[in-house]
Structure 1
Amino acid sequence: MNLRLLFLPALLSAALCTAPEAQAQTRVGEAVLIQNEVVRVATAATQIKVGDSMLRDETVRTGADSAARFVMADSTNLSLGPSATLKLDRTVFNDEHSYRDVAIRMTTGAFRFVTGHSDKTAYKITTPLATIGVRGTTLDILSQRGRSVVVLQEGAASVCTLNVQCVQLTQPGDTAVITSTGGRVGISRTNTPPWTFAANCAASAGLCAVNQYADASPTITPAVNDDGMLCGR
């Protein structure tokens, strides 16, 4: 028997596992509002349109005077203000409409985050200065160079610095302010927010509405993540 035939299945499996996009194209949500320049950041930036998929492991960026809202498969709503960059670090489906593990990195800009149907412990939100644990929540999040602001609008949240100084947000208006000065990171809690996402809501109609995923995309079901079992992950 030709030895090449014996090794063909293994070679095909290896090719699938090492293909750059093989594990990166799972649909995890949909764009429901796009204002001006909103791009998918890859080797070349591509404009996102309403109805386009939000994909696992991708980075999304809004331009100046731009905004976007995405509805994820578990009905989490993510709103982005101008000049914002967001990365979906990881999404592991529990079933077709909930996540076992979802990690969202809000690198820079202003955001509103509204939890969906997944267990609240599944959500892991980070900025360059903070990690945020949610408890059934609407959060306004501002990520700037040397400063992050987390404002609780509804629910509860735990906000911690990377060196595990934490504050608990339990009442609407509770705010965590994280600053980094000269390499020293500090966190404080106030009930008088220095900023909220409200101005972005007023500037863009529909930016702060909340959709269920079924309403946003009634005929499309996201692919269920295989946890990389084919490739041994």
Structure 2
Amino acid sequence: MPSLRWAAVVALAANLINATPTIAAEAVGRAVVIKTAVTGATGPLVVSAPVHRDERIRTSNTGLGQFVFRDGTKLAVGWGSSVVLDKYVFNDDNSVKKLTIRAAKGTFRWISGNSPSSAYQIVTPAGTIGVRGTAFDVHIAPNGKTAVVLLKGSARFCSGGGCRELKRRCDCVVATPSGAMSDVIKVNRSVLT
């Protein structure tokens, strides 16, 4: 009987040593619209589901997800998209000290919340978008080619090819992961093809 107890203690100790603690990441916002299939780290997302720091959100080829962060920032994730809520540091005054999103592919709409513009950063395969209290759309093709279209406010897009300032409604810039970048132009159908 003592050997049976000893075996149980050894088995329990082995399980405790090999166990990895699971710490839930900080909830940084919630889903407000979910259409067809949108998944997060734990599986399918539903309306009112929390989204967490470091969580990857993916949409199906017909999916759409809209999310509101704690500071009022809104992010819409279009069909066939993938984005990671990479860095999120919240201040005590209901504002964000740092919010970084890594957009890998797909289509997104960003609308700034109540935090200082310098707190926001969107990283794409072709460059980084600095937010200036604004709303804009982003499309990232499977090859990483990125188009940014300003809807309101202003934004700055920087890559290996330098930086471009988007200041007027419908200003657009297109960049590739190799560093090639267009001048800022008015968006039109030929740009988006």
Is 1:56 aligned to 2:50, yes or no?
no
Is 1:191 aligned to 2:186, yes or no?
yes
Query: Which residue number corresponds to residue 7 of structure 1?
Result: none
CA–CA distance in 2 between the matches of 1:20 and 1:114?
36
Is 1:113 aligned to 2:110, yes or no?
yes
Deviation readout 1:112-138 (Å, 9 max, x if unpaired): 000000111000111011100011100
Query: Which residue number corresponds to residue 130 of structure 2?
Result: 133
Deviation, structure 1 residue 191:
1.1
Deviation, structure 1 residue 195:
3.6
In the alignment, structure 1 segments of 5+ residues that lack a partner are 1-14, 197-233
Amino acid in the other structure paired with 2:187 = T
CA–CA distance in 2 between the matches of 1:104 and 1:36?
23
Match of 1:97 among 94, 98, 108: 94
CA–CA distance in 1 between the matches of 2:59 and 2:93?
28
CA contact under 8 A between 1:68 and 1:81: conserved in structure 2?
yes
CA–CA distance in 2 between the matches of 1:142 and 1:63?
16
CA–CA distance in 1 between the matches of 2:93 and 2:28?
10
How many residue pairs were aligned?
172
CA–CA distance in 1 between the matches of 2:98 and 2:50?
19
Query: Which residue number corresponds to residue 178 of structure 1?
Result: 175
Query: Which residue number corresponds to residue 3 of structure 2?
Result: none
CA–CA distance in 2 between the matches of 1:146 and 1:54?
25
Query: Which residue number corresponds to residue 168 of structure 1?
Result: 165
Which structure's CA Rg is the greater one? 2
Query: Which residue number corresponds to residue 32 of structure 2?
Result: 32
Match of 1:153 among 151, 154, 161: 151
Distance 1:164 1:122, change over 3 A: farther
Distance 1:166 1:48, change over 3 A: same
Deviation readout 1:174-218 (Å, 9 max, x if unpaired): 0010024xxx4211121124349xxxxxxxxxxxxxxxxxxxxxx
Query: Which residue number corresponds to residue 82 of structure 2?
Result: 85
CA–CA distance in 1 between the matches of 2:127 and 2:56?
19
Moved over 2 A (4+): 18-22, 192-196
CA–CA distance in 2 between the matches of 1:21 and 1:115?
32
CA contact under 8 A between 1:86 and 1:108: conserved in structure 2?
yes
Deviation, structure 1 residue 97:
2.2
CA–CA distance in 2 between the matches of 1:148 and 1:103?
17
CA contact under 8 A between 2:150 and 2:171: conserved in structure 1?
yes
Amino acid in the other structure paired with 1:148 = T
Deviation, structure 1 residue 95:
2.0
Deviation, structure 1 residue 167:
0.6
SS in 2 for 1:49: coil
Q: Larger RCO: Structure 1 or Structure 2 (Cα < 8 Å, ≥ 6 residues apart)?
A: 1
Distance 1:46 1:136, change over 3 A: same
* 1:2-13 equivalent positions in 2, closer than 5 A: none
Distance 1:103 1:20, change over 3 A: farther
RMSD: 2.0
SS in 2 for 1:121: helix
In the alignment, structure 2 segments of 5+ residues that lack a partner are 1-15
Q: What is the percent sequence identity of the aligned residues?
A: 35
